[in-house]
Amino acid sequence: MNLDKSTKRIAKKVKNGFQGYPQITLAYFGESEDCATQVVVSFVLEAGADAQEEKFSSTGDVRKDETIQTTLVKVIERADAKTVIEVAGVAIIK
């Protein structure tokens, strides 16, 4: 899957808003707001359940990494996530 297609699929899921559980949250982290070098995927199966997290890192921007974006789409599909939330912006890693 190419980068453009995977980012559009993620954006479409995010745009749908809260649809119930399971829920996946994508949060981006980096040394500056221009380059996210890490994405944390949080999975919540049901309301009140503890979140399971997985991190993906890259030397470049993970938002422009085709392999990582394709992997995020696969994680969303395999988890059968009804809700996908994307945290706006890039949190700074200190």
Measured in degrees and rounded to the nearest 5, phi and psi for residue 67 equal -65, -45
Residue 45 belongs to domain spanning: 3-92
Report the alpha-carbon distance of residue 6 to residue 73 in Å, rounded.
6
Q: Each residue of 26-74: pLDDT tens digit?
A: 999 999 999 999 999 999 999 999 999 999 999 999 999 999 999 999 9
> What is the average per-residue pLDDT within 11-34?
95
How far apart are the two ends of the chain, measured CA to CA in Å?
33
Report the alpha-carbon distance of residue 68 to residue 64 in Å, rounded.
8
Report the alpha-carbon distance of residue 52 to residue 41 in Å, rounded.
8
Question: How many domains, the chain?
Answer: 1
Bigger pLDDT: 24 or 94? 24
Cβ density class 18-50: b for 16+ within 10 Å, e for less = eeeebbbbbbbbbeeeebbbbbbbbbbeeeeee
Residue 94: predicted pLDDT: 76
